[in-house]
Amino acid sequence: MKNPVNGDLVRVRTFIPMSRRAFLAGTAGAALGLGLSARPSHAQSNVTYLGWQGYDAYLEADGFPGKRGLTLQKSFVSSADEMVTKLRLGSSTYDLLTPYFINDPFLQGEGLIEPLDLAKIPNFKTIMEPVRRMAASNMSVDGTWYAAPFVWGSAPLMYNSDVVTAAPTSWKDMMKPEFKGKCAIPDDITACWSVWGRVANPGIKTALRMTREQLSRTVDLLVELKKNHLRTIASSYGDLTDLAARKEIVIFQGFEPVASWVGDAAPIKWAFPSEGTGSFIEGYAIGKGSANIDAAHELINNALSPEGQKAGAEANGLPVVVSEAIPLVSDWNRASYPYDNLEDFLTKKVTFEEMFYLEDDGTHATWDEYQEAWERVLKA
């Protein structure tokens, strides 16, 4: 099986549950551990990074930190919520971070991330306009940016084209009798609610802000899916990759790089069903109070250079956000991502969610209720 350099790192993301209280107050941090000691107030050559393993490849492209006399001191996370917790415990501890995009407004509102100085990130202006525009609602406030988008992607319906010869058009195609025991979904709470909430409740605006009735209906659908159709709920995208490569599953909810990770073991293609496909745009942010703000801006700028984009894309099997990087990436990458029609893709093919409600508004399910509902699915 052929994999990108760091594909085995990014692909093992898993979800670690956190309660609303822990999300707001950071009380789960003691169990998770900071991994770094308190930072002095003056700038240093060590620039601290908190984020997904694999996303550091963009920052380190072409040996950039060493050329600038910098060392990237890394602390990796296994969930988006873990990052929030660590920032609540000490945002100045981290110079660079990669928050999940729907959390950006919360982090900005809580004063946990610094405003970016775009004059220090000249490559920001080279970000493809559709990506920049779609990211703005989460990453900027009144024209001030708090995160710089560097990657995008989605969680489409993937399938083995030797077995599934016609491209699926609905997520319900996973429930066809011929795929019984040969399909899977990931243990990724946000991705699964985003998809199956829309399947269970056609026409809803966002699946992460369902009413309690809508959430209950989605639980019923997922329980039926699990009991009567799925081979498994895979613990990670790495597990999905292995199952697909061994041909134990032939249709599944995935993540575009999975096709690259499977490689020649099985011909994996993907489709964007009519109900909608969850998508993401992630960006680099700077921890509030960072002692290395200038160095952090330099590293973000390197990540947005054509060379930085190529390094990150090839390491992770993900698309680029800078058009000048497109000729530099692999044939697989250029063939897999819709660079020639990105506007249509981001506005019509995929969906972007809003953050869960943390507090009860009297109508919608809260973050805690979503987590409890997911536990009911897992235990069913």
Q: E strand or H helix at 232, and its extent?
A: strand 230-234
Q: CATH no. for residue 134?
A: 3.40.190.10
How many angstroms separate the CA atoms of 260 and 268, rounded? 8
118 and 241 part of one domain: no
55 and 92 part of one domain: yes
251-253 β-sheet, strand order? 230-234, 183-186, 251-253, 157-160, 268-271
CB atoms within 10 A of CB 136: 14
- Rounded (to 5) percent helix, strand, coil in the chain: 45, 15, 35
Domain membership of residue 2 (yes or no) is no
Domain membership of residue 273 (yes or no) is yes
201 and 96 part of one domain: no
**Strand pairing of 144-145 and 96-97?**
unpaired
119 and 212 part of one domain: no
User: Domain span at residue 291?
Assistant: 7-153+279-349
pLDDT tens profile 327-378: 999 999 999 999 999 999 999 999 998 889 989 999 999 999 999 999 999 9
Domain membership of residue 60 (yes or no) is yes
108 and 53 part of one domain: yes
Please tell me the predicted confidence (pLDDT) of residue 81: 78
166 and 299 part of one domain: no
248 and 337 part of one domain: no
Domain tally, the chain = 2
**DSSP structure class, residue 68:** T
How many angstroms separate the CA atoms of 20 and 101, rounded? 18
| Token output for 19 | 């309660």
pLDDT band at residue 44 using 50, 70 and 90 as cut-offs:
low
pLDDT band at residue 83 using 50, 70 and 90 as cut-offs:
confident
pLDDT tens profile 15-36: 444 444 444 444 333 332 333 3
